[in-house]
Structure 1
Amino acid sequence: MDSSALKSLALEIGFTDVRLCRADEAWAASQRLEEFVAQEHHGSMAWMEDTLERRKHPTAMWPDAKSAVVVGLNYGPDHDPLGILERRSEAAISVYAQNADYHDLIKKRLKRLAREFVARTGHEVKVFVDTAPLMEKPLAAKSGLGWQGKHTNLVSREHGSWLFLGVMLTAAELEPDAPETDHCGSCRACLDICPTQAFPTPYQLDARRCISYLTIEHKGPIPREFRAPMGNRIYGCDDCLAVCPWNKFAEVSAEAAFHPRPELKGPLLSELAALDDADFRQVFTASPIKRIGRDRFVRNVMIAIGNSGDASLLGVVKERLRDEAPLVRGASVWALSQLDPHTFERQRTGALETETDADVIAEWRRD
């Protein structure tokens, strides 16, 4: 199977785009990754440090890898992801997480591509979808699928910001495509829009300041300085992706699995705050959101409620003051302080409605 036939098969299987590159050549991405970890910009994602040596280069993980087949699948939204940010009593969920987990769909198709390729060539392959120590974005740039913009995410001239990536490594030597050049120019829209200033310089990300990291990867209380900038973003953040001018060429995804579920396109914060563990698991079955667990999720919801300015949500907040999860109780105290600024004064003077409220607030007010 030559490169042309392989690409045709990938498109037939349902991928939006496919490009090829060498997997056994030296690249600058390894040094950038080392610097990222050395500066502790990975935060609490210890797995990045633990797998650093294997992650630095494809051949460090699989010495026999010669070529990489990089596939992209368009998940372009049918709406402006930034519009929800003005509706403060609704929850902003990242575009990629508003329906099915992309890992499952892409891996299924990659495995089909791998089976066909092995059957026709006999060459060994390995497939990856964001769950192994492999740097997909540098490979995608090397293959010509796009380039890593100033926000470090992949940008495509044909598809803008909205491409899921998958990789098939193979021991076969395939004809590579030319790498894509950087077309960001002097634009810094993605850097300027970031609510938490998570980019120390162009092309560098400090994950510890990134709302996607804070709402998904970070397990403890949200640091105080980032709570207000989070706004109503409860799972991920699309700001730097959505503002990219190259999205003018993007198309709405043809994949029904990536179209937003109606109940996740601006759900009410009040309803999400009421989810117990069983409800959470039911609502987010087959969703990437499920992996962070109910407590972390409701923590995020309570921060969003605190930012809503909606005093009608005070009753919801007070219910969560009694939550079994300390993480949720702490976020609820902060939300209460934002919606009812005189709360702490009433706590100090013993004028709160119940002793339970007073005890919880006393426990968490220093957070």
Structure 2
Amino acid sequence: MITPSYPPKPSPGDRIAVLSPGAGLPGLFPVPHELGLERLREEFGLEPVEYPATRKMGATPQERADDIHAAFADPDIKAVIASIGGDDQITVLPLLDRELIRANPKPFFGMSDNTNLLAFLYSTGIVGYHGATVMVQLGRPVAMDPLTAESLRAALFASGPYELRPAERWNDINRDWAEPATFASEPETRPGTGWIWHNADRVAEGRGWGGCLEILAGLLMADREVSHDLSVYDGGVLFLETSEEMPSGTEVFRTLRSMGERGLLQRFSALLMGRAKTWSFEQPNSAADAARYAVEQREAVLSALGIYAPDTLTVLDVDFGHTDPQLVLPYGGTIRVDGPERRITVTY
């Protein structure tokens, strides 16, 4: 395992690749995609460059791998961002040219199914960025959430420490991208509830690793991009979050239990657990059911830790992952969790 290092950052005016390593959903829902591209240009001063599979639903793994290779190999492209997640990005990983990508390191931004590529970059020696897809965060109706925009701007252009802040208001209920009315008003939000701290009597600092729990479980089952030498994760900061698939508390516990049985869970000095997504089109929970689901997930996480890593410094309901606003986390970069001061600081 190679120690991940930070790739050079872009500057305003640079070209940034927009790829769909997971699913070509921009082809089905052009409105949020075009809105995200516009914000990259007007609010961040970057010039987005699309590739052949960016808007192609059903693109083969090889077509998506070709886009990744082309973006990383092009010296005029200074960063890469995913349009959205997907479902089968794991099938792209065996087709990637690790040496080509290692020789041309660039910041990559993505989440959800893009956990696959982030884990690949980590094991290749490149720090990536968990968060900020074009269609979801950049394409948010009316305006980006200010907390998301501030975090993304720092991750894109800055290199020093950045202190994360709990959201004052948040949302996890989606609206239909096919309906024009969706983009006529901002999403409704509710008051923030802050972060929940456990074993907060110490400071932990290490390289971030993890991502979307469902995708990480797939990587573990396929034995891809997880080092067999578990000592490479010693002292790191594990960060996990769940998607709109909304796995049950039992499923979350079982995944963490398997990580514990493998000897992986106990390697980390701290765990950040993202605020659970509690609503989906398939399961439109009431407020009471959503709250109950969130409690069940917290209890599942703490139960698994109690068995395998009871002393781990843990922060629950952190604002990253499938939530709005969304904080960007450096995947392979430094994360500092200060329990006594109740502060989380990342190095972008």
TM-score (norm 1): 0.27
Decide which structure has greater helix share.
1
TM-score (norm 2): 0.28
